[in-house]
Amino acid sequence: MKLKILPPTLRANYRYLVLDIKSETSLSKNDLVPAIWEAAIHLYGELETSNFNLWVMKFFDLNHEKENIFNHVKDKNSFYYYNTILRCQRNFEEKVRDSLTMLYRYKGNKISISTIGKSGTIKSAVNKFINC
């Protein structure tokens, strides 16, 4: 028997937050997911965080572009730069942003996450905020 697809009125509505990330050490998508969940759980607890439906949709590593600009010069004060698209449940965007501001260290290294913008689709988020 084939499974039925939910009608649009019963599907969850999502918003996509475009994040700008600066870190002392290199990160991957697999490192970022636990950091975001940990920050949300510390601020709101497990029950409220489960309503957020957080998911990292796309992860953009901007370090190759920065290295070309700075001619491969790395000093100990340099940072790694990333952009990512984070999916969350509609009407919980502000709580997600609040929890991301509480994250300033991950595994003993400094990390800074700021929100660039908010969008209703992934395509418009990439066009507006990442491919500027």
From first to last of its 132 residues, what are the pLDDT tens digits of the chain?
A: 888 898 988 888 999 999 999 999 898 999 999 999 999 999 999 999 999 999 999 999 888 655 544 444 445 568 899 999 999 999 999 999 999 999 999 888 999 999 999 999 999 999 999 886
Domain boundaries, the chain: 14-130
3-state secondary structure of 73: coil
Q: How far apart are the first and last CA of the chain?
A: 47
Q: Cα dihedral sign for 80, 84, 89, 91?
A: positive
User: 14-130: CATH homologous superfamily?
Assistant: Ribonuclease P, Pop5 subunit (3.30.70.3250)
Q: Which of 49, 43, 18 is nearest to 101 (CA)?
A: 43
φ and ψ at residue 82, rounded to 5 degrees: -140, 155
Entry pTM: 0.83
